[in-house]
Amino acid sequence: MLNNARGRAHIHARESATKERKYTKMSEWSSKKEYELSKKREQLVVKSNDLIQKSRFDLSILEQKIVLNLIQLIKPTDTAFETYKFSVQDFCKLCNIDYKNGGNYAMIKDTIKGLRDKSFWVKQGKKQILCSWINKARIEENSGIIEIRLDDDLLPYLIELKNNYTMYSLINVLGMQSKYSPRIYELAKSNEYKKAFIIELQELKEMINAEHYTNYSDFKRKVLDIALKEINTVTDINLTYEPIKEGRKVTKIEFSIEKKLPLERYLASIKAINKTDKGHKKQ
């Protein structure tokens, strides 16, 4: 009886040890996956200030996140665009989109098609250059791997930048839900060294495609206030603004920029990303 009891105890101990090792491996695997995801979210987006300050385009929030995800895949040593690859599943995890939802897979596919079909203008001195976002895109249905080549029109604004550029971590925009937030955030980042800047109200509206808000109070409520709330919640800066009037009419906006502590920004960004799944519906 004693030997049987010892045998059962030994088997139980071995089973417990096996379970513990499995749990430890799963925990390590989970931690590794989380670490890799965290690293991807911290990758740098680098853009020419001309692409930020002198372009006019209208992209949904999801379209912007796909473009910014592509830009962060560009290596500093690249002298031309490569065919950049990422999986639907990885992109969904990056943005906290439910990748098991077939509707979201279709939404991403439609979003890429929308990007392929869109063009936009960039000012260069007295000229305007018509640019496209995507030259070619492929999706492997079985693996969900997306292959995209950016259009060569974008080369001067994304490759071999030596000066007059803006750089920030991708995580700063992943928690955003308003399509105006990334544009205003980038505009602020490109002027961050000044700590404050003034922009004509009409110029700002044209830049972010919000000209249909002809009434300033509507623009303030539906664009500025929402964008600044997101920027101040999820990014590495705090942004405030003051309207400047000529008579009774608001004609300019003065923005003031304050840098946040890194840990404050990181924790806020993660919290916001975890709430974004419902914010990626078509706008």
Give the pLDDT confidence of 180-198 residue by residue, as tens digits: 999 999 999 999 999 999 9
Are both 97 and 161 inside the same structural domain? yes
Are both 77 and 120 inside the same structural domain? yes
pLDDT of the residue at 65 = 97
pLDDT of the residue at 100 = 81
The verdict on residue 166 lying in a domain is yes
Are both 145 and 55 inside the same structural domain? yes
pLDDT of the residue at 134 = 95
Please state at what angle helix 262-273 crosses helix 225-234, rounded to 10 degrees: 120
Angle value at C-alpha 227, between 102 and 114, nearest 5 degrees: 40
Are both 118 and 13 inside the same structural domain? no
The verdict on residue 213 lying in a domain is yes
Are both 94 and 224 inside the same structural domain? yes
The verdict on residue 35 lying in a domain is no
Are both 102 and 182 inside the same structural domain? yes
Are both 182 and 244 inside the same structural domain? yes
The verdict on residue 260 lying in a domain is yes
Close Cβ partners of 54 (under 8 Å, ≥ 6 residues apart): 122, 123, 124
Are both 18 and 151 inside the same structural domain? no
pLDDT of the residue at 226 = 98
Structural domain containing residue 171? 41-280
pLDDT of the residue at 276 = 67
Do the strands 44-48 and 165-169 form a parallel or antiparallel pair, or are they unpaired?
Answer: antiparallel
pTM of the model: 0.83
* Overall number of domains in the chain: 2
- Residue ranges, the chain, pLDDT below 50: 1-3, 5-14, 16-26
pLDDT of the residue at 259 = 94
The verdict on residue 53 lying in a domain is yes
Which residues are paired to 250 by β-bridges?
Answer: 245
